[in-house]
Structure 1
Amino acid sequence: MRKLAKPIPLYNIDGTENRDGTITEVAVLDMAIGDHREKVVFVVTDIGDEDVIIGLDWLREHNPEVDWERGSLRLSRCPEACPAHQKASKPVETKVHDTEVRLMARNGPRRVRKAKMVGRIRAAVMVEEEEEDKPPPPATYTYSQQLAEQEYQKKEIRPVKEIVPKQYHEYLRVFSKEASERLPDHGPYDHAIELMPDARMFHSKVYPLSPSEQVELDKFINENLAKGYIQELKSLMSSPFFFIKKKDGSLRPVQDYRWLNDITIKNRYPLPLVSDLMD
């Protein structure tokens, strides 16, 4: 175990702050996955019931072949610098449901701790030491979302005229998708975002997207440019973009404006009740 010169801020996978707060120590341990053995530097923190999480950097470096159907992984593409690559005469293959990650302390009493990976491979990205950005907001695809998606796909899509009662057909334009895709004319009360006088300019890293999400992002940009919702410009500030899966299986685009909200002048004018406006 050794102390870090500078603590590393720590966040959970869902973007919330870890209860340990920061990472202050690292440990160099012998790690074995099947017959694959090497020394790995681990940061020390509380990760709940799990003993170890293998970081994305390690997975990228060793690039294991994963057979999802057989439930096995094959360490056949280790880099030449990997000690296990130099010693192994043939690639290591192991069943995922039998896999154990074994950690042996280098100094002090010899102890073995096991983190069984039952039916799946756990991985997480460790926060870099110089990272100061806010974590991405929580966005997960839950089991309930999967069920909702299956139910939604069973529904029959009906025309708007069949859904809206006849007495309201003169207002069908209100329900028109085409009409909703154009901005209204400018008026005396156009929305504006006013920034604090001493606001600090900000920019953030781009959140990584999957190939399918990148296709949807390109589609989103082109559609909204055509509608006039957005326009090309150069700015000193930027906000990241990501997607959340909806119950019908499509992707909902989300712009992360938390940084912008922090420097926006809040308008706390009390809005009238909707019931009063309708009376």
Structure 2
Amino acid sequence: LLDSGANSIFINQVWAKQIRLPLEKSDISTSLYNVDSTLNAGGCITHKCSFVVEYQGHREQVTAEATQLGKINIILGWTWLFKHNPEIDWQTGVVTFHVRQTELDERINAGHVYAKLRSLEKIDDDDDKVKPEEEIKRLVPPKYHDFWKVFSKHKSERFPEAKPWDHAIDL
């Protein structure tokens, strides 16, 4: 399922276990909200799953957050859509990927992307892995590199210094 409202890539935890994908415990537990703002029945996301998807000559390692997705096996969310920036023809249901000078066409049927999963394996080669900071720097336009500190993980995990004019907003 392509979902630009989803903030990540998700995999159905039950399906992942059925096809024997290894689930890894996440560093932090994350609450998951459905499209209607209710908490997901599966509770917090506590596991993730890394695997390789290979289709029509394109090979990519994907890390998905494992949760309950009902009848859907995988959700390719905003992060995936942003990274690949596919062309979507909504009238014909064709998604076109521009990967290494090769166009990969996949059909969308009722909102699902059908891609033949030809191999599932974990990649242990550290040389192929990109550090998160390098990946973010690659995604952030060069004109914003002067503001790099704003995008750092450390800065995003702490509140700004308290000021005398700060006040609570009681809802």
When normalised by structure 1's length, the TM-score is: 0.33
Aligned-pair CA distance for 1:27: 0.7
1:73 partner amino acid: V
Q: Which has the larger radius of gyration?
A: 1
Unaligned residue ranges in structure 1 (runs of 5+): 77-84, 108-129, 132-199, 203-258, 261-279
Matched, 1:201 2:165: no
Query: What is the DSSP-based 3-state SS (H/G/I as helix, E as strand, rest coil) of the residue aligned with 1:61?
Result: helix
Choose from 86, 95, 98 the match for 1:73.
Answer: 95
- Determine if the alignment matches structure 1 residue 20 to structure 2 residue 34: no
Deviation at 1:16, TM superposition (A): 0.6
Could you tell me how far 1:23 is from its partner in structure 2?
A: 0.6
Instruction: State the one-letter code of the partner of 2:37.
Output: G
Q: Distance in 1 between matches of 2:73 and 2:91?
A: 26
1:106 equivalenced with 2:121 (yes/no): yes
Q: CA deviation at 1:101?
A: 3.8
- Does residue 56 (structure 1) correspond to residue 78 (structure 2)? The answer is yes
- The residue matched to 1:21 in structure 2 has which SS? coil
1:90-144 deviations in whole A, cap 9, x for unaligned? 221222239414555426xxxxxxxxxxxxxxxxxxxxxx89xxxxxxxxxxxxx
Which residue identity lines up with residue 100 of structure 1 in the other structure? Answer: Y
Any idea what the Cα deviations from partners look like across 1:31-75, whole Å, max 9, x if unmatched?
245553311000111011100111111101111001122220110
Tell me: higher relative CO, structure 1 or 2? Use CA pairs within 8 A at least 6 residues apart: 2
- Give the percent of matched residue pairs that are identical in Structure 1 and Structure 2: 29
Q: Runs of 5+ in structure 2 lacking a partner? A: 1-22, 123-155, 158-166
For residues 33 and 15 of structure 1, what CA distance do their matches in structure 2 show? 34
CA contact (8 A) 1:34 1:99 kept: no
Give the whole-Å Cα distance in 2 for the aligned partners of 1:45 and 1:33: 24
Aligned AA for 2:108?
V
**TM-score under structure 2 length normalisation:** 0.52
Q: How does 1:1-279 map to 2 (within 5 A)?
A: 1-32=23-54, 35-76=57-98, 85=99, 88-97=100-109, 99-102=113-116, 104-106=119-121, 201-202=168-169, 260=171
Instruction: Give the distance between the partners of 1:102 and 1:45, measured in 2 at CA.
Output: 22
